[in-house]
Chain A
Amino acid sequence: MRAAMNLLSRSEENLQVISVLDNRIDAAVAIEFKDAMRASTDGGCETVVLDLSQVQFIDSSGLGAIVASMKHMGASRKLALAGLTPTVEKVFRLTRMDSVFCVFRTLNEALGKLKA
């Protein structure tokens, strides 16, 4: 049995917002997450905001899948992260991967900064 991965994508002016509707991005769904992100971001806006506010837990596989999604979009586009919950924030901080993404405390903050 495989776990599914639910993403909700919507447009906000010049931005695409992808909300992760599951509460975990872990080894059990890392491949599904990567595939779903690919399908959502291909041919889309230059800037994508990944709303992680409902995600309570990621492991190293989930982190790798988010990095892979950013790399798949290419260096000319931007993947911003918003709404990191405490354990998710901890994983990004400890691995120092918070330095390779634009990280916003909340989705509203991300929208405010990136639309301007």
Chain B
Amino acid sequence: MSLISQMPAFKISVQSGELAVREALAKLQDNLTPLSLDVEESGTVELVMAEALNNVVEHAYPRGDPCGPIYITCAHARDGLHLTVVDSGRAMPDGHTPLGVAVETDVAFDDIPEGGFGWFLIQDLAKDVSYVRVSRQNRLCLRLAVAIS
């Protein structure tokens, strides 16, 4: 089996805003075409990256703050896809990512949760999730165990 990936590493940049996430995800899927991911794998990539990018748009560049750039890098290795999301917006509160625990579903009707799913999905589907704040930038790194050789 070849060690050289079918897919060269790539970088995407978008400007934060209402449709930034859709734009970034479409570019990501375009660049991943050489890997011919199945529906399960490409669903995992899209879901994790949608949640990571939604967080940037909603919390790093909240409404009222100036828009800013979002950079995504992606490289394919034997253990999957290595992705980073970098932005120049507000820092993560407390300097770390939320734990992402599962929501409680066995509750009264009025208490059924309408949110709090995002970080759970990221932590559940991604490996090696790390976050650092350096040079006034947020840098989220994660690995997705797809397209493993």
Contact = CB atoms under 8 A, between A and B. Distances in A.
Interface residues of B, number: 31
Given A87-B47, A94-B124, A71 B58 contact: no
A58 B40 CA distance: 14
A65 B54 CA distance: 15
A99 B58 CA distance: 28
Contacts of B117: 60, 63-64, 91, 95, 97
Best-buried of A26, A27, A64, A75 by chain B (most CB within 10 Å): A27
B18 A28 contact: yes
B109 A57 contact: no
Interface in B29-78: 39-40, 43-44, 46-47, 50-51, 54, 57-58
Contacts of A86: 39-40, 43
B105 A60 contact: no
A24 B114 CA distance: 18
Chain A interface size, under 10 / 10 to 19 / 20 to 34 / 35 or more: 20 to 34
Contacts of A2: 18
Given A27-B58, A99-B105, A60 B118 contact: yes
Given A60-B115, A64-B114, A67-B113, 10 more contacts: A3-B22, A27-B50, A28-B19, A86-B39, A90-B43, A90-B44, A91-B47, A91-B117, A95-B117, A95-B120
Interface of A: 1-3, 24, 26-28, 57, 59-61, 63-65, 67-68, 70-71, 75, 86-87, 90-91, 94-97, 99-100
The 4 closest A-B pairs by CB, nearest first: A87-B43, A60-B117, A60-B118, A64-B114
Interface of B: 18-19, 21-22, 39-40, 43-44, 46-47, 50-51, 54, 57-58, 102-103, 105-106, 109-110, 112-115, 117-118, 120-121, 124-125
